[in-house]
Amino acid sequence: MQMKPRFLAAAASVAALSLTLGGCATGASKTTASDGAKIIDKGHLTVCTHLPYKPFQFSQGSKVVGFDVDLMDLVAKKLGLTQKIFDTPFEGIQSGQALNTDKCDVAAAGMTITDERKRVLDFSDPYFDATQALLVKKDSGISSLDQLSGKSIGVQEGTTGAIYVKEHAPKDADIRTFEDLATETAAVKTGQVDAAVNDNGVLLDYVKTNPDTAVTKEFDTGEQYGVAVKKDGNPKLLATINEVLAQAKKDGDYDKIYATWFGTAKQAG
């Protein structure tokens, strides 16, 4: 969800976040941030995501940490707010439902900008380059979708990886849909499926701690991630997000955050 960096996960200390696991902010009183942006919870920037999606967002002890989390902390700080994370299914995020029902102010979920999603969401400027990748058991000998004729392929619900597989996998492949990244990757590791497709960043991170698996192919899908707000509903917040992203790339904060979670310098481009 082009660049093909090799990632190294790195543990890091991040600002404390409030993780909302139950309930939602629907019905909360609308208020405004320092820039006039609409927010649903006074004092907080409420961010929708779908856990886990390591290293972009995942639980570490009692905190939610990751690349996207650190970027959204910069936005919250700019607005004089504290980030609060709302964990919700990805399908509701990418469809715009989570934002339309006021579960959150912004969605930061390793989400690829697509024309279909732009019809229901307003996206920030791109902040990360990605592509799809193939995860298999190590030494499986599988390095292409063509080799999965008659075999099973795992995909994550609502993702661009699922779309890619449906369009490019052999017609007799058994495509199995999983609700989240963790169950999809576990299905490969335990042999429930022969392979899985998802974004290269998360799969390359996964194999670092699961050496019995391997990423054997990356597909040049040329994707870019964006942060999203409600369609035609929060232009001031969107403007602030773009301002913060541009400033972070200019002053080096983006590079530092990137190195924290991927162990290398910022991607070229």
Report the CATH number that the domain containing residue 150 is assigned in CATH: 3.40.190.10
Average pLDDT over every residue of 1-5: 40
Kindly tell me if the per-residue pLDDT of 34 is higher than 70: no
18-32, 48-62, 81-95: the lowest-pLDDT one: 18-32
- 167-198 pLDDT tens trace: 999 999 999 999 999 999 999 999 999 999 99
With respect to residue 4, please indicate whether it lies within any of the assigned structural domains.
no
With respect to residue 87, please indicate whether it lies within any of the assigned structural domains.
yes
With respect to residue 10, please indicate whether it lies within any of the assigned structural domains.
no
Alpha carbon distance 259, 150 (integer Å): 40
- Judge residue 80's burial from the number of C-beta atoms within 10 Å of its C-beta, 0-12 exposed, 13-18 middle, 19 or more buried: exposed
Question: Are 245 and 211 found together in one domain?
Answer: no
Name the more confident of 20 and 261.
Answer: 261
Kindly tell me if the per-residue pLDDT of 240 is higher than 50: yes
With respect to residue 117, please indicate whether it lies within any of the assigned structural domains.
yes
> What is the chain's alpha carbon radius of gyration, rounded to the nearest angstrom?
18
Per-residue pLDDT at 31: 77
Alpha carbon distance 267, 265 (integer Å): 7
- 150-172 pLDDT tens trace: 999 999 999 999 999 999 999 99
Question: Are 212 and 239 found together in one domain?
Answer: no
With respect to residue 7, please indicate whether it lies within any of the assigned structural domains.
no
Contact 206, 213 (CB under 8 A): yes
Looking at the structure of the chain, the number of domains it has is: 2
With respect to residue 101, please indicate whether it lies within any of the assigned structural domains.
yes
Per-residue pLDDT at 266: 52
Containing structural domain, residue 200: 131-223
Name the more confident of 240 and 29.
Answer: 240
Question: Are 37 and 105 found together in one domain?
Answer: yes
The 3-state secondary structure of the chain reads CCCCCCCCCCCCCCCCCEEECCCCCCCCCCEECCCCCEECECCEEEEEECCCECCCEEEECCEEECHHHHHHHHHHHHCCCEEEEEECCHHHHHCCHHHHCCCCCEECCCCECCHHHHCCEEECCCCEEEEEEEEEECCCCCCCHHHHCCCEEEEECCCHHHHHHHHHCCCCCEEEEECCHHHHHHHHHCCCCCEEEEEHHHHHHHHHHCCCEEEEEEEEEEEEECCEEECCCCHHHHHHHHHHHHHHHHHCHHHHHHHHHHCCCCCCC
Average pLDDT of the chain? 89
Average pLDDT over every residue of 84-109: 96
Kindly tell me if the per-residue pLDDT of 268 is higher than 60: no
Kindly tell me if the per-residue pLDDT of 84 is higher than 70: yes
- 115-135 pLDDT tens trace: 999 999 999 999 999 999 999
Question: Are 28 and 53 found together in one domain?
Answer: yes
Per-residue pLDDT at 36: 80
Name the more confident of 109 and 29.
Answer: 109
Per-residue pLDDT at 153: 98
Name the more confident of 24 and 258.
Answer: 258
Per-residue pLDDT at 64: 97
With respect to residue 12, please indicate whether it lies within any of the assigned structural domains.
no
Question: Are 104 and 185 found together in one domain?
Answer: no
Question: Are 161 and 247 found together in one domain?
Answer: no
